[in-house]
Amino acid sequence: MRLPILDWAVGYRKDWLRLDVVAGLTAAAVVIPKALAYATIAGLPVQLGLYTALFPMVIYALLGTSRPLSVSTTTTLAILVAANLALVAPNGDPAALISATTTLTLLVGVILVAASVLRLGFVADFISEPVLIGFKAGIGLVIVLDQIPKLMGVHFDKGGFFHNIVETIRAVPHTSLPTLAVGVGTIVLLVGVHRVLPRAPAPLIAVAAGIAAVSLLGLDRYGVAIVGEIPRGLPSFVAPDFSLVAMLWPGALGCALMSFTETIAAGRAFAATSDPPPVPNRELLATGLANVGSAVWGSMPAGGGTSQTAVNRSAGARTQLAELVTAGATLLTMLLLAGPMGLMPQATLAAVVIVYSMGLIELAGNKTLAVLSRLLLEIIQVQNRATFLYVILSISSSVRPASWHSCSRNSGASGHSESECG
């Protein structure tokens, strides 16, 4: 089987190089801060987010069939990972979490590769869009609720959705005002940059502002929690814990389905007319091997990200070289910027998560309105057809009885029977 990278590398044009490099760096400015934030959603050390923005990207760039797709983790996958890790590492021990994450990511990869071998790529065509939208909206609500305590600087034992709502309300009097100020300020900054400078990397600007505020103002002395030390350099090998397979495989199946669905959806949505369309079975293989190959380095389950792919494409990406540039920027961050990243306020990451999770809820609302609009239009069209049919039948009923009456009257005068009136 021909490697997909050869499809674009062999005929690579010189004028694409600048576009791919600029797009890759632009996407990195969005991917890296969001990857750190997604790790916190899953309850994992933030460096695992960086690993997920490196290894899966490189592997997919070599094997994937979509030209603009940017592969790391997503909001949806992060919350699914959190739910699965809570089953096997409820005490939150970092070593246990990392080992379980490795096992989960490996299982996701194996499932995707097996689906490719069985040629199950057609499954993507049978996933209902309304169901997927509703699922993501629910996840968006859960994520926002999970991050609000971090925005407030409070802590409590987490439980179910309604339990967390009650506990969050109870914690309001204990809110850390400096932490809340950082979180709200970050949200305002993110929204403002997005509206005033839509092409600017808002997450990177927000993260840089948070780090600068801690460094210059010493916000950590006022109770503002920071990320803390991030290991510098490449990750160590992590062996999967096969004793967890029985508990994790159902969740891995859900992660695999969501990874493939989001990958295909993003790949199709941002494919240019001149691009070859994504091939579902080869996308299963590419994302599967990306997960398998990155699992042993502690990476979270990965798939195509819609927002980062949109940034990548709008910045001018022509080939998967752009994703390799993004991965290179992530590597430099791991090697050179781990120290400054440790000064990032937790409230800043929570704000990034909240703003981009709200997009899931807003999307669901917009899609619901669109579906309702189409349904209303169809009802109106059916009503119009019914009205038209009613008018036709009314006209017919007003004409035919008169003719019958006339025929009956004539037949009586002429002596013909009624059947002779045809």
Q: What is the mean pLDDT of the chain?
A: 84
User: Tokens in use for 248?
Assistant: 């994790």
- In this prediction, residues 399-416 reach a mean pLDDT of 44
Chain segment 186-237, per-residue pLDDT in tens: 999 999 998 998 878 888 899 899 999 999 999 989 999 998 888 889 999 9
Angle, to 10 degrees, between the axis of helix 94-117 and the axis of helix 280-295?
150
**pLDDT tens track for 91-103:** 888 899 999 999 9
Is the predicted pLDDT of residue 292 greater than 50, yes or no? Answer: yes
- How sure is the predictor about 127, in pLDDT bands with cuts at 50, 70 and 90? low
Question: Which range has the worst mean pLDDT, 137-141, 145-149, 276-280, 413-417?
Answer: 413-417
DSSP H helical ranges for 200-244: 202-217
Please report which residue ranges of 270-345 form alpha helices under DSSP H.
280-295, 306-314, 321-336, 338-341
Question: For residue 419, is pLDDT > 60?
Answer: no
pTM, to two decimals: 0.75
DSSP 87-101: HH-TT--HHHHHHHH
Contact 329, 28 (CB under 8 A): yes
Give the pLDDT confidence of 36-60 residue by residue, as tens digits: 989 988 999 999 999 999 999 999 9
Nearest Cα to Cα of residue 357 among 114, 219, 125, 150: 150
What is the token pair recorded at 388? Answer: 């038209």
Quote the CA–CA distance of 369 and 130 in Å, as a whole number: 11
Contact 51, 299 (CB under 8 A): yes
**Amino acid letter, residue 164:** N
C-alpha to C-alpha distance for 86 and 196, rounded to whole angstroms: 40
